[in-house]
Structure 1
Amino acid sequence: MKIFPAIDLFGGQAVRLYKGDYDQMTVYDPEPLNTVRKFEAAGASNLHLVDLEGAKTGQTTNLPTIEKLAKSTGLFIEVGGGIRNMDTVRRYLDAGASRVILGTAAVTDPDFTAQAVAQYGEKIAVGADLKDGKVAIKGWLETSQDTWEVFFEKMQALGVKTIICTDISKDGAMQGTNRALYKELTQRFSMDIIASGGVSSLEDIRALKAAGVHGAIIGKAYYTGAIDLAQAIRLAQAIRLGEGEETP
């Protein structure tokens, strides 16, 4: 299983929002590359980036920062936040992103999603934030007409390879992730499922790995010290040899 430590970008800085509120923002690191170096030192090979300004405006405000991170590291970098047209997809990929994540646009503009997948294949992922049985969009203020099950089926039919799924009720709550949901998704769909939201302990990592989940995003739990990133990565990469015995 792959671990994706996360950075939220605003104004070229690594920040954290309280419950998604832009007015309650904490700057974690004015130079995100410093944080990325810490991720690398812990053994990370993947990075999850969210352009908070992009999510709000649809503009690629943090593109220079993302390009700098891509050029300065050897990490696999996935980027999400307000990607609504092919030009934005191209700009992020040209800047060095390994994969871009379509969120609201995957729900509201299926033709764009289909075009992006047809042109870029596995470099396109979809982000699905689940709320009350549906997919939340537009900053979690609205929800899709379809149930999440129907949405996932549509994405799989389009050829989407990877879905990053967040259970909003668990996000940032530090009360554990929705293990049953991710196990169900992994069993029902052939797409790679990446768990996001509430991954707050090594037990979560162990359970997701056992369920066959492709990856897990670690955000708040890293910044608060609830999860040691190096331990999480070792656990995710471990191969079970026997009862109670694991090795990288």
Structure 2
Amino acid sequence: MLVIPAIDLKDGQAVRLFKGDYNQKTVYSDKPEKLAQDFETMGAKLLHVVDLDGAKDGKCINLETIKKIKQNTSMQIELGGGIRNLETVALYLDEVGIDRVILGTAAINDPEFLKNALCTYGAERIVVGVDVKDGYVSTSGWLETSAVPYLEFIKDLEKLGVKYIVATDISKDGTLQGPNFEMYEQITKTSKINFVVSGGIKDAQNIKDAANKDYYACIVGKAYYEGRVDLKEVIACLQNG
């Protein structure tokens, strides 16, 4: 299982939100690129980066910081937040050199855009973020909730040829209460899509539990920043692929 460290960007800083609340943020670093270097030293192969400002406003707000991160690490990078048209996809994949982008709001609001992105760049480089609130898909930086049940959405994504999703239970994100394993079991029963466990990881045991279930990958954010997970040790023990 891939163990993926996370850097969430707001105003050029590495932060974490509590349950997606932009008013409840904790700043962890003014130099996100240094964090990326640290993660690479620990053995991480893939870095998860989210432009929180971009997710809310639909623009490339933290572009310069993202470029710095890319320039300071040889890890693969997946990036989400505010990517809502092919021009932005091209900017990140072709110009900045990001390895894969995560489409969230646009994937549900504009299925044709998702199809075009998949057709242009392939399923290895286009990931979909499935952000879940009370059983439904959330959009616009988690500020709005759609009327689409998350399992129905995932089945539709699989039909379109999507290979990877990042599945987040918003109520768990940033809480250190443990992930919603029940939700992930429902996804496993419903679909064969590769999903990344995201939101709520509190300790190494949570990560081991995800690995034991043979899930594709697990994102570690706040648990690392708060000193609850020895990321180097976990990666050495669990990471493959």
TM-score computed with the length of structure 1 as normaliser: 0.90
SS in 2 for 1:8: strand
Aligned to 2:108: 107
1:196 Cα deviation from its structure 2 partner = 0.2
SS in 1 for 2:129: strand
Q: Larger RCO: Structure 1 or Structure 2 (Cα < 8 Å, ≥ 6 residues apart)? A: 2
Q: Is the 8 A contact 2:18 2:175 kept in 1?
A: no
1:222 Cα deviation from its structure 2 partner = 0.7
Aligned to 1:80: 80
Please tell me the residue identity of whatever aligns with 2:6. A
Please give the alpha-carbon distance, in whole angstroms, between the structure 2 residues aligned to 1:59 and 1:170: 26
2:31 is aligned with 1:31 = yes
User: Gaps (5+ residues) in structure 1?
Assistant: 240-248
Alignment counterpart, residue 137 of structure 2, candidates 129, 135, 138: 135
SS in 1 for 2:228: coil
Please give the alpha-carbon distance, in whole angstroms, between the structure 1 residues aligned to 2:181 and 2:233: 19
Aligned to 1:125: 127
Please tell me the residue identity of whatever aligns with 2:231. L
Matched length = 239
Which 4+ runs in 1 deviate beyond 4 A?
A: none
Please give the alpha-carbon distance, in whole angstroms, between the structure 2 residues aligned to 1:221 and 1:74: 24
2:170 is aligned with 1:168 = yes
2:148 is aligned with 1:157 = no
Please give the alpha-carbon distance, in whole angstroms, between the structure 1 residues aligned to 2:183 and 2:190: 11
1:238 Cα deviation from its structure 2 partner = 6.9
1:100 Cα deviation from its structure 2 partner = 0.3
CA distance 1:17–1:168, shift in 2 (3 Å):
closer
Deviations 1:31-75 (A, max 9, x none): 111111221221111100011121122221222221222222111
Q: What is the correspondence of 1:174-185 to structure 2 with a 5 Å cutoff?
A: 174-185=176-187
Please give the alpha-carbon distance, in whole angstroms, between the structure 2 residues aligned to 1:186 and 1:47: 24
CA distance 1:191–1:118, shift in 2 (3 Å):
same
* Larger radius of gyration between Structure 1 and Structure 2: 1
Please give the alpha-carbon distance, in whole angstroms, between the structure 1 residues aligned to 2:42 and 2:84: 33
Q: Is the 8 A contact 1:206 1:235 kept in 2?
A: no
Please tell me the residue identity of whatever aligns with 2:22. Y
1:192 Cα deviation from its structure 2 partner = 1.0
